[in-house]
Amino acid sequence: MTEDIRSLTARLAEEPSSLAFLELAEALRRRGQLDAACKVARGGVSRYPGLADAHDLHAHILGDLGDLAGAFDAWTAALQLDPMRAGALKGIAFLYYRAGDIVAALDHLQRAAQADPDDPSIQVALERVRSSVRAQGSPETNGGAAVTPPTLPAASPFEGIEGGEEGYLLVDGGGLRLGGALRSPSGEETGDRVAAQLAGISREAARATRILGLGAWHSISIESPDGQLYLAAPTADTVLLTSRDRAIPAARVGLLAERASRAARAWLEGLG
């Protein structure tokens, strides 16, 4: 047993509710002790069923063990908790590719690339799958409804609202931008990258407040030295992020966010 595995095992024994199981299972997996890794990961999943990292790691181990159906189920569970989890999207894409469902593989890889544009392995996998698409015809144009982005009205949900052009971001449950735009303090457009980070945040917040006996969540405010962010859920499937300078009082940002939430709800109802 190596030193890191010994110390992680001791840490987990001392504090069974800690997240040390993630490191321990991964360390065991890397050493090829797959049965032991699987046991540790399974224990973590049963203790933290709402933790996407646990399902993702469990899926990796099951995949290494050759249990592809189990891996698929575990990655699906990870994506239910965090729909833009790049590792799980990549894993499911691989399983679809192996099963010959190129369109589904391509769809998942494209989402993985959105979630983690800096991961070169996703670009390599995308190119490989696209080569298969070219070799087989063109499912992207023949049966590619799954990879066609939804059509949205041109109008912004935040037209006419103070700071409406670049201070609000409406995001779907999968971490994709539905409307609005966001600029960093240095002026860089950051909307899509921020949207990807917000995938599944609503579920995570709901789980935290439920476990702590606080009922349903309705907002999160985040204060940074450079600015403040405010998250709300205009609908069950969407999250609205409001971004403002630190100079604006936090309570006022909350009021602006409420107004923007109402506008977003009305806009979404208009789509339906």
Partner 1 sequence: MKTSGDVLDRVTRVPGVRGALVVAATDGLVVAEHLMDGVDGRAAAALAASLVGRLARTAAEAGLRHPAFVHLRADAGSVLVAPGKDDLVLVAVVGPEANMGLARLEMLDAAGRLG
In whole angstroms, what is the distance from residue 33 CA to residue 10 CA?
17
Positions 153 through 192 that interact with partner 1 (CB under 8 A): 182, 184-186, 188, 190
Q: How many CA atoms lie within 13 A of 95 on its CB side?
A: 21
Q: Which stretch binds partner 1 (CB under 8 A): 72-80, 83-91, 126-134, 200-208?
A: 200-208
**What letter would DSSP give residue 151?**
P
Three-class secondary structure of residue 170 per DSSP: strand
What distance, in Å, lies between the first and last C-alpha atoms of the chain? Answer: 58
For the beta sheet containing 238-244, the strands, ordered from the edge strand earlier in sequence to the opposite edge, are: 177-182, 167-172, 238-244, 227-232
Instruction: For residue 151, state whether it binds partner 1 (rule: CB under 8 A).
Output: no
Instruction: For residue 80, state whether it binds partner 1 (rule: CB under 8 A).
Output: no
Residues β-bridged to residue 242: 168, 230
Least distance CB 146 / partner 1 (angstroms): 26
Least distance CB 55 / partner 1 (angstroms): 13
Instruction: For residue 194, state whether it binds partner 1 (rule: CB under 8 A).
Output: yes
The CA–CA distances, whole Å, from 53 to 36, 59, 201 equal 18, 10, 14
Return the amino acid letter for 222.
I
Positions 220 through 239 that interact with partner 1 (CB under 8 A): 220-227, 229
The CA–CA distances, whole Å, from 6 to 21, 22, 98 equal 12, 14, 36
Per-residue binder mask for partner 1 (CB under 8 A), 20-59, x = binder: x--x------------------------x--x--------
Instruction: For residue 198, state whether it binds partner 1 (rule: CB under 8 A).
Output: yes
Instruction: For residue 217, state whether it binds partner 1 (rule: CB under 8 A).
Output: yes
Q: Which residues bind partner 1 (CB under 8 A)?
A: 11, 15, 17-20, 23, 48, 51, 182, 184-186, 188, 190, 193-194, 196-198, 201, 204-205, 207-209, 211-227, 229, 241, 243
